[in-house]
Amino acid sequence: MRDNSSMPDSMPPPRVSELAAERAQVRIGEMLRQGAERLRPASDSPRLDCELLLAHALSVPRSRLYARSTEVLRPEHADRAHALLEERARGRPVAQIIGRKEFFSLEFEITPEVLAPRPETELLVEVLSSHLGEMRKGATGIDLGTGCGVVAVALARLLPDARLAATDVSAAALEVARRNAARLAPGRIRFAQGSWYEAVGDGWRFNAIAANPPYVESRLCGRGALRYEPRRALDGGADGLRHLRTVISGAPPYLHPGGMLAAEHGANQGKAVREMMLRAGLTQPVSYRDLSGRERVSVAYSSTPPLEMMAPPENRASIRPPLAAGNSACCWLQSVTGKVSSNKALTL
Ligand code: GLN
């Protein structure tokens, strides 16, 4: 019988160069396992995060990793993957590290100037698309504070006949949104820069207004993963409701009768948002719950005819100038398709 017990003693100690080679010899499958373990304390989804980071380091689609799990990582790829894993382990969100985030099965570019899309915002898209989808062809919708453009782009993909617009106060965010739209929904979305309704100008009406405004209470903005995202996209003032107030109170003149305002908000803001909607003169406020069962999106409707129609005829002009025939949101949005070219209210 052979005696193996003496073997370890007889082997020379490994040299540094061999250790380096050993480190470089890691296989993709093993790297995924080790990386997920490394991320466990920092992430709720360590395995997924690790796959996304490794795929980014190797410049391959995530789906290819499994087929290549026995492949040995090249040293430069292993180093790059380690660096990305360490960044994630320190708390930076994956989306910010790789500059991309999936939303509605579409891949969006993101930058430090925009909020990475959250899964709960898919609820906002679903609510809006079912409202606009029930309407005639050419229904109009606007996404206020679009960020990287997810809501408008997802709507454009779901509703081939809808006419869509998107705004943001940040020029840097609009650039990102425009690039995402050019890739994922070319020619479908009209963009304008400005704060909330200032970007829209008077006289435009929509079948739906969407907004995912900053709604985090100021004191919470610097905490946890939120510190890696643009404060301007998160900070809703002391009570978190500052921008929701502006969006909700300003909505009625921009909605067609029966038009819907849909706003995303914080998990504990549903009641306040529904009350604000009623105070603004909107009707039938309803809140929808996200996948964690928390009120996340509230909607309400404009039931009133346009203001100028409600006023007695002699007062109409003093309340609001009548809408010029060519000045409806519909015509403006038709210009997206090239049918109407001029547009005075928006500088685009
Ligand atoms: N849902 C985001 C968060 O809580 C906030 C998004 C927003 O303020 N619009 O991280």
Check which CATH number belongs to the domain holding 188 and give it: 3.40.50.150
Query: Running along the chain, 348 residues long, what does each successive block of 10 average in pLDDT?
Result: 44 48 76 96 95 96 92 93 96 95 96 95 97 90 98 98 97 98 98 96 92 97 90 97 98 96 98 98 96 96 63 38 35 37 31
Among candidates 338, 343, 304, 346, which has minimal Cα distance to 327? 343
Kindly state whether residues 201 and 168 are assigned to the same domain.
yes
Which of 223, 234, 290 is the best mutation target for the ligand 1 pocket, counting ligand atoms within 8 Å of the beta carbon and taking the most? 234
What gap in Å lies between CA 332 and CA 320, rounded to an integer? 19
Kindly state whether residues 274 and 244 are assigned to the same domain.
yes
Ligand 1 mean position to 144 CA, how many Å?
15
What gap in Å lies between CA 163 and CA 206, rounded to an integer? 9
Kindly state whether residues 59 and 162 are assigned to the same domain.
no
Distances (CA, A) of 195 to 25, 146, 168, 317: 53, 11, 6, 27
**Residues 200, 346 contacting (CB under 8 angstroms):** yes
- Between strands 189-193 and 283-289, the pairing is unpaired
- The domain boundary, picked from 53, 73, 98, lies at 98
Question: Within a domain: residue 259?
Answer: yes
Question: Within a domain: residue 104?
Answer: no
The number of the ligand 1 atom at minimal distance from the alpha carbon of 212 is: 9
Q: What is the pLDDT of residue 225?
A: 86
What gap in Å lies between CA 73 and CA 25, rounded to an integer? 7
The number of the ligand 1 atom at minimal distance from the alpha carbon of 121 is: 1
What gap in Å lies between CA 50 and CA 57, rounded to an integer? 10
Residue 301, helix vs strand vs coil? strand
Domain CATH for 33 = 1.10.8.10
Ligand 1 mean position to 183 CA, how many Å?
25
User: Which tokens belong to 151?
Assistant: 């809501």
Q: For residue 22, count other CB atoms closer than 10 A to its CB.
A: 10
Kindly state whether residues 85 and 121 are assigned to the same domain.
no
How is residue 122 annotated by DSSP? H
CA 337 to centroid of chain Cα atoms: 25
The number of the ligand 1 atom at minimal distance from the alpha carbon of 233 is: 8
Pocket of ligand 1 (CB under 6 A): 115, 118, 212-216, 226, 234
Question: Within a domain: residue 106?
Answer: no
What gap in Å lies between CA 150 and CA 32, rounded to an integer? 29
Q: Which domain holds residue 270?
A: 112-337
What gap in Å lies between CA 106 and CA 154, rounded to an integer? 8
The number of the ligand 1 atom at minimal distance from the alpha carbon of 236 is: 8
Q: What is the pLDDT of residue 12?
A: 53
Question: Within a domain: residue 345?
Answer: no
User: Which tokens belong to 66?
Assistant: 């499994």
Instruction: Determine phi and psi for 111, rounding to 5 degrees.
Output: -135, 175
Task: Find the largest Cα–Cα distance for the chain.
Answer: 113
Question: Within a domain: residue 124?
Answer: yes
Axis crossing angle, helix 46-58 with helix 75-89, rounded to the nearest 10 = 140
CA-angle at 343, arms to 175 and 133, nearest 5°: 70
The number of the ligand 1 atom at minimal distance from the alpha carbon of 264 is: 9
Count structural domains, the chain.
2
Ligand 1 mean position to 221 CA, how many Å?
9
Kindly state whether residues 41 and 189 are assigned to the same domain.
no
Which of 118, 121, 212, 227 is the best mutation target for the ligand 1 pocket, counting ligand atoms within 8 Å of the beta carbon and taking the most? 118
- Between strands 106-109 and 100-103, the pairing is antiparallel
Kindly state whether residues 122 and 75 are assigned to the same domain.
no
Ligand 1 mean position to 140 CA, how many Å?
26
- The domain boundary, picked from 98, 127, 155, lies at 98
The number of the ligand 1 atom at minimal distance from the alpha carbon of 229 is: 10
What gap in Å lies between CA 94 and CA 83, rounded to an integer? 13
Kindly state whether residues 177 and 38 are assigned to the same domain.
no
Kindly state whether residues 199 and 321 are assigned to the same domain.
yes
Q: For residue 175, count other CB atoms closer than 10 A to its CB.
A: 16
Which of 44, 121, 264 is the best mutation target for the ligand 1 pocket, counting ligand atoms within 8 Å of the beta carbon and taking the most? 264
Axis crossing angle, helix 171-184 with helix 150-158, rounded to the nearest 10 = 20
Question: Within a domain: residue 16?
Answer: no
Which of 110, 115, 212 is the best mutation target for the ligand 1 pocket, counting ligand atoms within 8 Å of the beta carbon and taking the most? 115
Q: How many helices (H) and strands (E) does the chain have?
A: 15, 9
Alpha helix (H) residue ranges in the chain: 7-10, 16-24, 28-39, 46-58, 64-67, 75-89, 94-98, 121-133, 150-158, 171-184, 242-250, 270-279, 307-310, 316-319, 329-334
Ligand 1 mean position to 79 CA, how many Å?
33
Kindly state whether residues 53 and 146 are assigned to the same domain.
no
